[in-house]
Amino acid sequence: MKCLEPSFLLIREKSCLQLDDGQFIIKIGLMNNLNYLLDLLKQQQQKKIMESDYIEAYPSLSFDFINKHPLLKSLIFWFQQLGNDGGINKDKHGFLIDFIDAITNNLIKSSNHFRYSDTIKNFTLSLYILGGKLTYEFIRLNLPGSLPSVTMLNTLISKSNAKISEAEFRFDQLQKHFDDHNLQYAFDSEDATSIIKKIKYDSTTNTFNGFPTPLDCGVPIKEYYRTTSFDKLKLWFDSNDKSSLLNVHMIQPVPSTNQNIIPNATHLVTKWRNRLLSSSAELRLGNQFISIDHLYDIIHNEMYTKLDHGLTKSDINPKDRQNFSSCLKLTSRLIYLKFKMIIMALKEL
């Protein structure tokens, strides 16, 4: 653009830089200030449009009212930004929007009329399972209207067929899961914990839980303790012991035969160590049994030194149930070879 007006030349001199080829470029600082001014004007224009739209739709929601409530103002600007960025991304913002909607919609209703989307229901189940009841209740009570009550949650669990029943092995569901996902291998894990001895009545299955369940071909008989006879119930109480342990079996499928997946290896090897050091349990190595006595033989045997096995008495202390460094020693190849030598010696006797 060529202009010889003195006023234009003065503005160009102050706002532009002249290049070697005679062209002029606007100074970067001035350009930034100009862009900032344009953005500010656009924001003011959007505010005026928003104010007029809200006043028409909701006469009681004036712009001053929105400004007095920062949360409301921030939500409006956030939704506007989502719209300017190309719309709502369900994968990125879907849960957050459902969560905000649940809180805002439920706060204006009585607790008996709270409603939740499927996304929120799935989230609550995961939160309850991973965090436990206390964590779930802490979050729910501090975020009113955001999460269903525990009563509603138990209803969701019962309807989802996720409830664990005593002596129930879900072989059919396991087979269906394997067929649907083309699985061939899985890890079976088992764990037990001490419980208070007591008998509880399960109204959903009409059975009494807490008695040791009899086995059929090694599998517990589901819903065995079911009766409508008071005399039979009394006989069970008089003749049967109450269970002192709760035992759970779980299956973790292996997605691919090319993957080496070991669920919670630390926990697994610690349980193996505790069983090996137990005075009331035995482990097999081939066709022979191994126990803590064999470890004592290795430590006290004059043929071996600590350099041979690396064990100390603290490594085989049964009371120290979380000694993982001991697990590493006991599962080493050196100890395995010592066990084999002891077993071979026992065979020769």
- pTM greater than 0.85: no
Give residue-wise pLDDT tens across range 308-327.
677 787 888 878 777 778 87
CA dist., res. 347 & res. 349, Å (int): 5
Beta bridge partners of 284: 289
Is residue 204 within 8 A of residue 157, CB to CB? The reply is no
Give residue-wise pLDDT tens across range 174-209.
888 888 888 888 888 888 888 899 999 988 788 999
| Other C-beta atoms lying within 10 Å of the C-beta of residue 47 | 14
Longest Cα separation, the chain: 118
Is residue 244 within 8 A of residue 194, CB to CB? The reply is yes
By residue count, the chain amounts to: 349
Write down the pLDDT at residue 211. Answer: 92
Q: What is the mean pLDDT of each run of 10 residues along the chain (349 residues)?
A: 72 78 78 83 76 56 70 76 66 80 86 86 87 90 89 81 78 87 83 88 87 88 89 91 88 67 67 80 72 79 73 80 78 71 65
CA dist., res. 345 & res. 41, Å (int): 92
